[in-house]
Amino acid sequence: MSRYDVVVLGGGSAGVAAAVKAAQLGASVAVVNQGPLGGTCVNVGCVPSKFLIRAAQLKKEAENPFYKGFEAVVKVDIKALLSHMKDVVGNLRREKYDEVLRYYDVELIEGRGVLAGPHVVKVGEGVVEGDKIIVATGARPRLPDIPGLKEALERGLAYTNEEFFKLDNIPSSVVFIGGGAIAAELSQALARLGVDVSVIHRGRLLKYEEEVASEYLEEVLRDDGVKLIRGEASAVEVRGGEVVVRHSGGEVKAEAVFVATGRVPNVEPLGGLLKLAPHGGVEVNERMETSLPGVYAAGDVTGGLGGVRFLENAAARQGVVAAVNALGGRAVFNPAAVPRVVFTDPAVASVGLREEDMLKSGVGCRCRAAPIDAVAAGWTRGKTRGFIKINTYPETWKITAKRGRIAGALVVAPEAEELINVFALAVQMGLTVDDLVEWLPSFPSYGEAARLAALAFYTDPTKLSCCGG
């Protein structure tokens, strides 16, 4: 039996971040993990998906250039592309997870760990003890109870992200079930790579983002050839080497089904010792403490943000907060300041409060937006599609010094994944619209649009000269 200052159960983003932070603080640390390090994000999530998204974007831009005088026809070797994707995943996993844990002398114990008490993790026939334990067992794809889906999965004609990113080739036609981030991102990418794509979604796309973003993205995906079907999948039938997905408005035939209907926290290894929240994840406070003293939880096992958004950046930050507090420090996790990005083209990024939530709660919202075509950067790159919207607390406009404290923001624009960081910092630091008005971004850059969105509270941002206002 071995004993450590901190035992981390799980080797994904949250677990490794927790282990590294604990080691940096001088603790003896062990990570109990089954399977490849890195969890969902590195192996079968954000890293391989963004690789394919960027590749598909490059193909579209090369074949449809904005700049006159350019002409190209891109031939894609899908097998070579997927092989390269796996190489990138493997290299990143090795350098950012395996080698990092070795650098900090973190003990890696391979095997399925089960929480057996406030200081004990069972691994097979053995036991690992820790003064403090951090649970980071992640989440898995949610499989809806659709007749015929299980058979399609068993025959390799249906898959979740976990199976998809292990493929050596991509089917010529795919039907997605679900309307969240995974379906939106990969449906667009596959369509751009020449795959016939349909998406069956019950409500609006990205229903956890503001409605204006959903409407905008639906238009973008249709322009890329994605067939959007509003309805509910009711059955999956295997016909020879194909599948037929029935829905409330008819049926769709394809070579494969991609199930993207959400995620489920992996709470089974916790032995029923920790209290769960209504969304099914481990209940934690802002210090990542669980109902069992001395045991902390971080990452997807806590149910993500609000039980619906499972984000690598949030998971890693939670892991750091858990490690700091486990070793006697004082740190808190602020979900409102976590930037959320759907990596479509243009991307949909948000942070903080949505306008509809502010209105529903009675707080109210004073909101303004600026279009991307109001900045020169969009003109020089041929990418003028999109907007930036700022949500502020109405009562803060009564303050005379700095007015309009920023409650949240929505960016649907080129480089939205970078632009949203400005607003994440604003929410974190309590910045105001007036702070952004006084800010001077580089020129020409899309950052200018962030300032224009602030200026929109005072004037029409489309009626200003470059860098004006």
Residue 468 domain-assigned (yes or no): no
Residue 108 domain-assigned (yes or no): yes
Structure confidence at residue 469 (pLDDT):
76
pLDDT range class, residue 60, cuts 50, 70, 90: very high
Distance between CA 332 and CA 311 in Å, rounded? 17
Residues 151 and 118 reside in one and the same domain: no
Q: Inform me whether the pLDDT recorded for 308 exceeds 80.
A: yes
Residues 105 and 172 reside in one and the same domain: no
Residues 235 and 277 reside in one and the same domain: no
Look up residue 320 and give its amino acid. V
Tens digits of residue pLDDT in 127-153? 999 999 999 999 999 999 999 999 999
Other residues' Cβ atoms within 10 Å of the Cβ of residue 77: 9
Domain containing 412 equals 346-456
pTM for the model stands at 0.95
The CATH number assigned to the domain holding 256 equals 3.50.50.60
Residues 136 and 268 reside in one and the same domain: yes
Task: Report the run of H or E that residue 108 belongs to, with start and end.
Answer: strand 107-110
Residues 31 and 136 reside in one and the same domain: yes
pLDDT range class, residue 1, cuts 50, 70, 90: low
* CA distances to 209, 233, 315, 445 from 312, in Å: 18, 29, 5, 27
Q: Inform me whether the pLDDT recorded for 210 exceeds 80.
A: yes
Give the chain's domain count.
3
Tens digits of residue pLDDT in 350-361? 999 999 999 999
Phi-psi category of 294—alpha, beta or left, where left has phi over 0 and alpha has psi -120 to 50?
left
> Whose CA is closest to 287, among 344, 252, 239, 328?
328
The CATH number assigned to the domain holding 411 equals 3.30.390.30
In this structure, are residues 423 and 352 in contact, taking their beta carbons and an 8 Å threshold?
yes
Residues 363 and 422 reside in one and the same domain: yes
> Whose CA is closest to 173, among 74, 67, 258?
258
Residue 469 domain-assigned (yes or no): no
